[in-house]
Amino acid sequence: DTGVSQNPRHKITKRGQNVTFRCDPISEHNRLYWYRQTLGQGPEFLTYFQNEAQLEKSRLLSDRFSAERPKGSFSTLEIQRTEQGDSAMYLCASSPRVTGDSYFGPGTRLTVL
């Protein structure tokens, strides 16, 4: 069990650029989640996949955000036309079929200049 991995760990970009993050969940986990966390706050839910199907998206997820999970394995989160308000830690988590216990990756810290 290698845990949830995320790449890159850090991303600095200029306002208006597009960025893409990758998450590799624990191999036997069929559920995958994206969260966003700003300083001093708990993680906020963004979106949820069960296998390859995206089953829920938060109202926080504007049209500039898109997520995919092709073949129910890894997932990508893309942010188009980044804004300074997008600066945050983006966390990926996965959970197994049997329980709701979510295991988090190390996160990708995004800084938009």
Partner 1 sequence: EDQVTQSPEALRLQEGESSSLNCSYTVSGLRGLFWYRQDPGKGPEFLFTLYSAGEEKEKERLKATLTKKESFLHITAPKPEDSATYLCAVQARDSSYKLIFGSGTRLLVRP
Find the binder of partner 1 among 11, 79, 102, 110 (CB under 8 A): 102
Select the span of 11-19, 66-74, 78-86, 92-100 touching partner 1 (CB under 8 A).
Answer: 92-100
Alpha-carbon separation of residue 69 from 22, 31, 112 (angstroms): 10, 10, 25
Among 33, 75, 82, 110, binds partner 1 (CB under 8 A): 33
Pick the closer one to partner 1 by CB: 40 or 70.
40
Q: CB of 35: closest distance to partner 1 in angstroms? A: 8
**Can you tell me which of 7, 13, 22, 45 binds partner 1, judged by CB under 8 A?**
45
- The single residue listed with the structure tokens 């979106």 is 47
Burial class (CB in 10 A: 0-12, 13-18, 19+), 63: exposed
